[in-house]
Structure 1
């Protein structure tokens, strides 16, 4: 089927204003790219929507309110069935959408009994098939076989295998078989045509914890057993075919004190019973995320203290490729398995990397900050990044990104509580030989305008003068136009304000004094060191009788002083001491030494940047451009060292 004819769809639960100016939680649907938009609101009643859910085939959508449960056709939004029952909190479909399970909070009756609160219904007819009592709201949903012939649920250390249509009376339950294991706390049913049950038994009285695999209906002998210590709870992660399972074990407390979240380990078991192992992870720290490839032959693990490592393993837990160490904690394969997403959400910055699985090269990097929910579209080309309440009460909304890094749609909302794609078979969008080109994106939202930069502070005496080279930035080539304040070139501020008469007069005085000072410096530097001209008169009018500058010595006009000019080269050698007349002025050696120190400082910074890049850190554009000046800086350093050597020889 051509992928251009298969539309994608998503749904969301958000806060909307109604006629009497009240905000209610409503469920709306939208169409995916290329014409992404919110199209309609499903519920027109004046009641809050508690949750919505698609079935795995994408045929139905159900949403729960305080008064009832409504089942709609996902394509047309036409009503199929309404279950008129109050108090329902959650709902879940069977794999093919034939059945719907609902759960209510348990409430004790007057006689102390707890009525059934887990109910099973037929989707199309709304007929109640059976009912159970399930007090815990976690993992309440029944686990179904792929053909919907049976579903499993745990009851006080036992797993019951139940036929949904085995009893004609809703008050009786048709239990086909039971799995009894002492100390069993969790279980999981595999997908695929040959269902396998995985059961976890916690540590007890020094005995290790274990995971056991059983074929469905044959609970006398396990297929495989894996024992281990340091496991208070586990997470089961099956591949799509049900041929292998990853078991993530966790402890509540890390006895070594290295982690607040406890210790974690990862184990692999083949359902055939012929192979099991511990997945070798070469970095200390927690396991952040694990994802199977859709073809069930490899998986990726994100693990270790930040920056975490991301490694691709084959189905024998052998390393295939390492994606480096970066601040990432989330991994997702596209439904077709061609594109890989590595992201850092939660308390991380929200950076998302897209990788091509075939070439193992990075495609693009985006910034999706404050993301609470992230998932691939069924066509494998877009991701939905949503910011949800109550995790974040601000900046709620949905953003759709193409894997080339293009933002194609964005919608801000006052409060967004749930979002999700409508499921569809991945075969509707077969894998192409080449990646699709980047679509046309939307204009990025404008950021609030910040006040204009005022630049570096300069004292009044330095305003209007060019900055010495030693104080200039390393990336300043001197070609950029100077900023002005009140018309003064070189000072920070606005350039459109006229210069006042007083400011202009002061600027001219400063310029005249500067030129006069330069003239005096040249005269004193060319003299014989006696501090007087050939005529024997005073050197300048300012340094004559009654014309001394404030703070100068009375002997400065007649008695020459020794000026110690020390120039420190790279080897730390002290320069020669030379005699000068009158005032202390910078000599050539001092200028050369300052320039040489500045150049060597830049070279040290470049060496530091090269070291950071070798460790895998991402550098900014200005830092990369600075590294490009290394050759010219080293040539400049060599030239300055030669000049310094010649100056010392003189």
Structure 2
């Protein structure tokens, strides 16, 4: 398998570099010296397109042969459809006195022939490109409070429409058919905002939605499907925090599944939500949240915490393409610290530092990453570095004085092209060494610098990582959790002591279902499973009583009732 290439765009032109560990100019692709306006790889990385202010060019990545050249000097954005059938280009909308309506500024081109398939109007930059299903059977775009669906890349006829008042955003699910779409409608006049999931083309009727979640605190949302297309995470944000606690407004995180299940993800620290990312395995997701130092927690599909990484200077999370490594990083106004974690063992691999970085991305091989300082976010010290995830810098390229770096982008590869490799904990050899940060002394106010250090002089309480899985070692509990646990144990002991000192005649003890005399099989894990099963069966009995009284049960309640035989069988297998 050939190493992925790295596309670089800046004021000195567009170039393709042969991929890690070294990055040399691709001899088959001479650098385009004109200032690149935009560049994009196809989803599988087989095609590369760029616009330089004069034309749009498309080449084949394997041999750099130019396949198409389009005379579109004003093009600012371009994108390929999932199967490389269609190239979409967008130019800023404009109109003149002679042409008050303006010309269509969104063009769809046949990649093979270069023929124009359709020209459309798209005035807004947001949501400019149509969304395709992975097999290109369906394409969808938003037009005046409606979602227009097209089939088999026939953009001359609308196959279906989803009309909802004031549709603000939507996202199409990845994966195979049937396709699902999540739509967001902002609230108005006291009505809540809501997100609904639909399965194409079943849009009609009040019960057509697969799932529905409404909330009041939402000026905007961001939505992200997992790779399997079975669930979506919705981050709802408000511009103003009415409590005055945050400049960032308020954020809440919601989970919706196509099965109809929904939940609010409970976060263990107040403050903004910086990042939410799905694992490529689609079985868990990571959230970075809370006032600095921020927390980072991995949750399962039940929205239960699996592992808490404690607190630290971070505002972003990045899973490797194989899902076996997670990088927590603090970029932007933070100092660029990265924490590299082995996700299976939840063990830290390295802790490199990339100050002033404005970009981070994983190489498809799951072994290398790139960090870059790009303009216009930072106009000085532009350049990029190629790293091994163990913290070793393998290649460093600084942008010459007077020039600017605008973008770097890895060549994508189809899923499964690079197998998962065992995680290494020893730094890989490299000519530039590692950037593990030196141990820094904590800041102390001038009034405390001549006094001995004490816990009371800390600016904030640091929390260590904590394993939240069943049977986790208690040694990994945070200081706050240990303190609360000790308080509960002391309170329980004092109650038992007070009860034993109460004078009076001793009566026969009443049966206590919570005492140690409850029947046990001797295995704590099995006892826990039995207890959970009995709890679920009790809830089903209550639902059946409600149903018998004439109350109509909801979809998720009916699904619980239908699982009664399955639960009874599981209880029987446990020997109860």
TM-score bucket of the superposed structures, by smaller chain = 0.7 to 0.9
Q: Flag the 1:434–1:63 CA change in 2: closer, same or farther, 3 A.
A: closer
Q: Deviations along 1:578-610, whole A, 9 cap, x unmatched? A: xxxxxxxxxxxxxxxxxxxxxxx9997365599
Residue 81 of structure 1 aligns to a residue in which SS? strand
Q: Deviations along 1:186-212, whole A, 9 cap, x unmatched? A: 111110112111111111110111101
Residue 63 of structure 1 aligns to a residue in which SS? strand
CA distance in 2, matches of 1:325, 1:242: 31
Is 2:292 aligned against 1:309? no
Is 2:184 aligned against 1:200? yes
Counterparts of 1:430-579 in structure 2, within 5 Å, are 430-435=419-424, 438-443=427-432
From 19, 33, 38, the counterpart of 2:20: 33
From 262, 275, 280, the counterpart of 1:289: 275
Count of matched residue pairs: 445
Contact 2:6 / 2:408 at 8 angstroms: preserved in 1?
yes
Structure having the higher Rg: 1
Residue 187 of structure 1 aligns to a residue in which SS? strand
CA distance in 2, matches of 1:393, 1:611: 36
CA distance in 2, matches of 1:141, 1:222: 25
From 597, 604, 615, the counterpart of 2:462: 615
Q: Flag the 1:422–1:46 CA change in 2: closer, same or farther, 3 A.
A: closer
Structure 1's unaligned 5+ residue stretches are 17-25, 168-172, 447-600, 619-650
Is 2:246 aligned against 1:259? yes
From 93, 97, 112, the counterpart of 1:124: 112
From 154, 164, 182, the counterpart of 1:181: 164
Is 2:419 aligned against 1:419? no
Contact 1:379 / 1:426 at 8 angstroms: preserved in 2?
no
Partner residue in 2 for 1:395: 381
Q: Deviations along 1:198-253, whole A, 9 cap, x unmatched? A: 11111111011110111111111211111111101100111011101000001122
TM-score calculated relative to the size of structure 1 = 0.65
Task: After TM superposition, give the deviation of residue 383 of structure 1 in Å.
Answer: 1.0
Partner residue in 2 for 1:50: 37
Task: After TM superposition, give the deviation of residue 87 of structure 1 in Å.
Answer: 1.6
From 267, 278, 290, the counterpart of 2:264: 278
Q: Flag the 1:405–1:434 CA change in 2: closer, same or farther, 3 A.
A: closer
CA distance in 1, matches of 2:352, 2:301: 30
Partner residue in 2 for 1:361: 347
CA distance in 1, matches of 2:449, 2:341: 35
Is 2:417 aligned against 1:428? yes
Residue 305 of structure 1 aligns to a residue in which SS? coil
Counterparts of 1:148-187 in structure 2, within 5 Å, are 148-163=136-151, 165-166=153-154, 173-187=156-170
Partner residue in 2 for 1:517: none
Q: Which has the higher contact order (CA 8 A, sep 6+)?
A: 2
Task: After TM superposition, give the deviation of residue 147 of structure 1 in Å.
Answer: 0.6
Q: Deviations along 1:245-304, whole A, 9 cap, x unmatched? A: 00000112211112122111000000122x100000121111000111101000000001
CA distance in 2, matches of 1:439, 1:38: 24
Contact 1:164 / 1:174 at 8 angstroms: preserved in 2?
no
Contact 2:95 / 2:102 at 8 angstroms: preserved in 1?
yes
Task: After TM superposition, give the deviation of residue 38 of structure 1 in Å.
Answer: 3.3
Q: Flag the 1:424–1:609 CA change in 2: closer, same or farther, 3 A.
A: farther
CA distance in 2, matches of 1:141, 1:379: 28
CA distance in 2, matches of 1:615, 1:44: 49
Q: Flag the 1:445–1:236 CA change in 2: closer, same or farther, 3 A.
A: closer
Contact 1:373 / 1:386 at 8 angstroms: preserved in 2?
yes
Task: After TM superposition, give the deviation of residue 401 of structure 1 in Å.
Answer: 1.2
Q: Flag the 1:253–1:43 CA change in 2: closer, same or farther, 3 A.
A: farther
Q: Deviations along 1:125-174, whole A, 9 cap, x unmatched? A: 1111111101001220110011112211001100000235436xxxxx21
Partner residue in 2 for 1:231: 218
Partner residue in 2 for 1:213: 197
**Which shifted more, 5-14 or 603-612?**
603-612
Contact 1:231 / 1:250 at 8 angstroms: preserved in 2?
yes
Q: Flag the 1:41–1:410 CA change in 2: closer, same or farther, 3 A.
A: farther
Q: Deviations along 1:7-46, whole A, 9 cap, x unmatched? A: 1211110233xxxxxxxxx111112223333335946666
Contact 1:28 / 1:40 at 8 angstroms: preserved in 2?
no
CA distance in 1, matches of 2:66, 2:454: 67
Contact 1:235 / 1:249 at 8 angstroms: preserved in 2?
yes
Q: Flag the 1:45–1:188 CA change in 2: closer, same or farther, 3 A.
A: closer
Residue 366 of structure 1 aligns to a residue in which SS? coil
CA distance in 2, matches of 1:35, 1:12: 14
Partner residue in 1 for 2:100: 112
CA distance in 1, matches of 2:189, 2:289: 30
Contact 1:196 / 1:214 at 8 angstroms: preserved in 2?
yes
Contact 2:310 / 2:462 at 8 angstroms: preserved in 1?
no
Is 2:2 aligned against 1:6? yes
**Coordinate RMSD, CA, aligned:** 2.5
CA distance in 2, matches of 1:86, 1:443: 41
Partner residue in 2 for 1:407: 393
CA distance in 2, matches of 1:423, 1:612: 43
Q: Flag the 1:377–1:252 CA change in 2: closer, same or farther, 3 A.
A: same
Counterparts of 1:68-87 in structure 2, within 5 Å, are 68-87=55-74
Contact 1:202 / 1:208 at 8 angstroms: preserved in 2?
yes
Structure 2's unaligned 5+ residue stretches are 436-447, 466-576
